[in-house]
Structure formats: structure tokens, C-alpha cells
């Protein structure tokens, strides 16, 4: 889905917010100039409080905004996990609620809600193994459900870039035209 965008994936299995923050502070985004950066992290911080996890994610977003001020940042909500309803799902809801109100304080950042109902059966609250084969990691179908809203958001942002780039003046062409109009 994202191949045409020449996207880069900086995730590492088992990553927690503090691991990503360390990498960001130690050169992870050096020498690149992305237009859009997507953050999806926090599910592995299950031993932290909701406040600690949202604080870590916000620190990541703020660090990215400082290091890449030209980039739009999309902070995704954390998807639900676990086959059956459980306290961790409740914590994830708390984290997402906190993020939804805090992300707008970061320049060029927006929050993308992950619809829990896309993954959770509304009758019994279970997650299907067709969406998450181990009730944590996504299957192809699960990734499709997760990424379709993200794809729409990215397309909207990219249209903004295309409009800006197509309406900005081509200074090299203008300079060339001015130079050729000189009379000697």
C-alpha cells in the first residue's frame, strides 16, 4: 500500500517509547527530510501507566517536530490487543483518549484515531485471529483495516504538498527568462 511513497520503516520488534526516543535523540532521523512521519508505538509499554505511555509518545512527537520541523506528524492511536476484553485494552483506551487531546499541542501534528470496532466483535468483544494472528500482531487483513484510514490521511497531506509545489514559483525558470530578455 505504501510502496509508491518510498516510505521507510524505523520500527523494531519489541520497541518501547523510551527505545524510540533514544534513537531519535541519537541520529535516527539525521540526513533525511520526510514530508510525513507516522508514529505508532506504545503497545509494548504495557507495564507503564496510561499517563506514562502517553507522555512517552508525546515526547517522541515533540522531538520529531523539533528535529524535522518541515514534516507533518501523524500520531496513530494504539490498536486493541488480546483475544478477549482485558485491563490492557482499557489502558489502551485511556492512552488514546489522552493522546487525542494532547497531540494538537505539537506543531504540524495530528492524531489518527484507530477504530477499535474495526477489530473487536461488537457482540462478545473478541478479536479475530483473521485480523491479529496472535491477538497482537496484524495479519494482512488486519493491516488493511489499520492502514486504510492512514492511507486516506496521507493522501490528503500529499495533495496539500502537490498543490503547494505546483503553485510555487519556479525561480530557476524565471531567472532564465529574465536573463534572456536583457538587451545589450
pLDDT at position 33:
94
41 vs 177 pLDDT, higher one: 41
Mean pLDDT score, 134-161:
92
Mean pLDDT score, 93-103:
98
pLDDT at position 177:
35
Beta carbons within 8 Å of 88's beta carbon, 6+ residues apart: 46, 81, 82
Mean pLDDT score, 24-47:
96
User: What whole-number distance in Å separates Cα of residue 41 and Cα of residue 24?
Assistant: 13
158 vs 87 pLDDT, higher one: 87
47 vs 180 pLDDT, higher one: 47
How much is the pTM? Answer: 0.85
- Split at pLDDT 50, 70, 90, the class of 8 is confident
The chain-wide mean pLDDT, for the chain, equals: 88
Mean pLDDT score, 74-98:
97
Domains of the chain: residue spans and CATH: 3-180 (3.40.50.1110)
Amino acid at each position: 500500500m505504501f510502496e509508491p511513497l518510498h516510505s521507510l520503516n524505523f520500527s523494531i520488534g519489541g520497541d518501547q517509547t523510551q527505545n524510540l526516543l533514544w534513537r531519535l535523540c541519537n541520529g535516527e532521523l539525521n540526513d533525511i527530510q520526510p514530508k510525513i512521519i507516522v508514529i505508532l508505538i506504545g503497545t509494548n509499554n504495557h507495564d507503564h501507566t496510561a499517563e506514562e505511555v502517553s507522555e512517552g509518545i508525546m515526547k517522541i512527537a515533540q522531538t520529531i517536530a523539533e528535529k524535522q520541523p518541515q514534516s507533518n506528524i501523524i500520531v496513530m492511536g494504539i490498536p486493541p490487543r488480546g483475544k478477549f476484553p482485558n485491563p490492557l485494552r482499557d489502558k489502551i483506551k485511556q492512552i488514546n483518549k489522552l493522546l487525542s487531546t494532547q497531540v494538537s499541542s505539537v506543531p504540524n501534528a495530528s492524531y489518527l484515531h484507530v477504530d477499535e470496532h474495526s477489530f473487536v466483535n461488537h457482540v462478545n468483544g473478541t478479536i479475530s485471529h483473521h485480523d491479529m494472528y496472535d491477538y497482537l500482531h496484524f495479519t494482512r487483513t488486519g493491516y488493511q483495516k489499520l492502514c486504510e484510514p492512514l492511507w486516506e490521511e496521507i493522501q490528503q497531506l500529499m495533495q496539500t504538498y502537490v498543490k503547494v509545489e505546483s503553485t510555487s514559483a519556479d525561480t530557476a525558470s524565471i531567472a532564465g527568462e529574465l536573463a534572456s530578455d536583457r538587451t545589450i
